[in-house]
Amino acid sequence: MKKYISILLSVILAFGGVLCVLQSSLFSPRISIDEFSKQVSVLNSTYTQYPKRYRLIVQAKGRIDKLDSIDCAEGYGDLHILQFDNADSAKRAQAYYNNQRSVKSVEEDEVLFCADAAYDAPYYFEDLEEDGAAYANGHLSWGSEFIGTDSYIESMSEPSEYRQVVVAIVDSGIAYDHSFFEDRVIRTNYNTSGTQAEQGGEYDEYGHGTHVAGIVVDNTTANVKIKGYKVLNDKGKGVKSVIVAGILKAISDKVDVINISIEGGKTGAYTNAINTAVNKGIVVCVAAGNKRQDASKVEPACVESAITVAAMDERGNTASFTNYGSLIDIVAPGVLIGSTYLNDTYTSRSGTSMASPFVAAAAALVKTTHPLYSAKAIERFLKRNSRESDFEIMNYAPILDISHTTDSQEDIEPPSEPVTEPSSEPETEPSSEPETEPSSEPETEPSSEPVTEPSSEPETEPSSEPETEPSSEPETEPS
């Protein structure tokens, strides 16, 4: 009898080992994010004869039945991008996946646009100093003084004492040879937009990404670098699946801040990518959108874990075009903002696209002085130190102001539960459990534990009060 029991146990153990191997093969990454991005880009450029709604974005655990799709991009995390050659096949597949327990979400791919406000009036700064400064304070726009950039920088010690902080610009690329960007650009050669400039790589041919990048550089210290991820083409158009892949690439590059000045229709594709970024301590700033509608109707503006930014003008009024609603986290300058442009020139543009990088720049400065702060701690720091507003339409979201900041135990939170790279496991929602990160500043953060050196994993420290954020449904398109 003992012999039979021994044999039975051996069989069970062997079978369990097989199951472990199978589970590992289902959930471990089979390709790199670079290879996955190339696959997505090929789908986008190869099947241009088909409407984008013939392509589905499926998030599912493990492998899935591809049904009668004619091509696909998969093997990174839980994303599967499936190409169909007719509407009926795509609709049947969407219905099928909606009924599969392993499928978290399924949606049609779509084209998004870089939507600046209607009255943008480009102009070139002709009588300027060599560095392009348009104002006496040496900055390119009125927004720098408005948010208190110089006051914050003056309160810092020598920039050489700070570590490098990287801001990812997920947009139309960056004109990386612009004189204003000297020593501030880290090249990525990341281009999945479907168009290629003569200069190569992530070079911007549309101007939107370059303008956004200039706002970040104009409002940060020299330790803050920018990286361009070109996901919009030379007409300012992009595809949802391509943009999501660009966000995942920025996460894998371990940047500190991601700016997404893009808006679009209802979707869930952004949510997991942004949640993963925030869980990893990456601040994600997104434009609220320019359709004068509730931000809950567009994504990524409605993604809870992102900092959603609305626009205002120099007189202190909300911009006529800006989206609004209870999901607005903060309001920043977004009307007639001067910044860098193509051909080593400068131009003025308006839009929540311009408001978002002001917050991204402020977040980069806070990350510089508080390297152990989590993404949510930085968001709380910015909100608490900003000016109160009477913008009822924005649910009284504060006005960005970093001119007179103070540290507070209220800002500190514990890191969320460890989240693996999207390449290995499905992304998780940012944790609401309290955790904390100590400040690296000598000036005190009430803490019960000694400060440790920054690490890739969020540092913990008990928070006095856990904070939660309003939830909403997602949506997408460049703003």
Per the annotation, the verdict on 208 as an active-site residue is: yes
Per the annotation, the verdict on 353 as an active-site residue is: yes
As a whole number of angstroms, the distance between CA 294 and CA 288 comes to 9
As a whole number of angstroms, the distance between CA 430 and CA 417 comes to 8
Burial code of 56-82, b = ≥16 C-beta within 10 A, e = fewer? bbbbbbeebebeebebbbbbbbbbbbb
> Any idea what DSSP says for residue 258?
E
Q: Which two tokens stand for residue 364?
A: 């980069």
422 contacts 272 by C-beta, under 8 angstroms:
yes
Residue whose structure tokens are 């920018």: 226
As a whole number of angstroms, the distance between CA 31 and CA 75 comes to 5
Catalytic pick from 80, 178, 208, 370? 208
Catalytic pick from 78, 171, 256, 411? 171
> Any idea what DSSP says for residue 415?
P
289 contacts 261 by C-beta, under 8 angstroms:
no
**Inter-axis angle of helices 269-279 and 240-252, nearest 10:** 10
Phi-psi region of 138 (alpha: psi -120 to 50; beta: other; left: phi over 0): left
Per the annotation, the verdict on 171 as an active-site residue is: yes
**Inter-axis angle of helices 352-369 and 208-218, nearest 10:** 40
111 contacts 238 by C-beta, under 8 angstroms:
yes
Catalytic pick from 353, 374, 416, 440? 353
Three-state SS string across 20-67, please? HHHHHHHHCCCCCHHHHHHHHHHHHHHCCCCCHHHEEEEEECCCCCCC
What is the helix (H) or strand (E) element at residue 191, kind and residue range? strand 190-191
The residues that are catalytic are 171, 208, 353
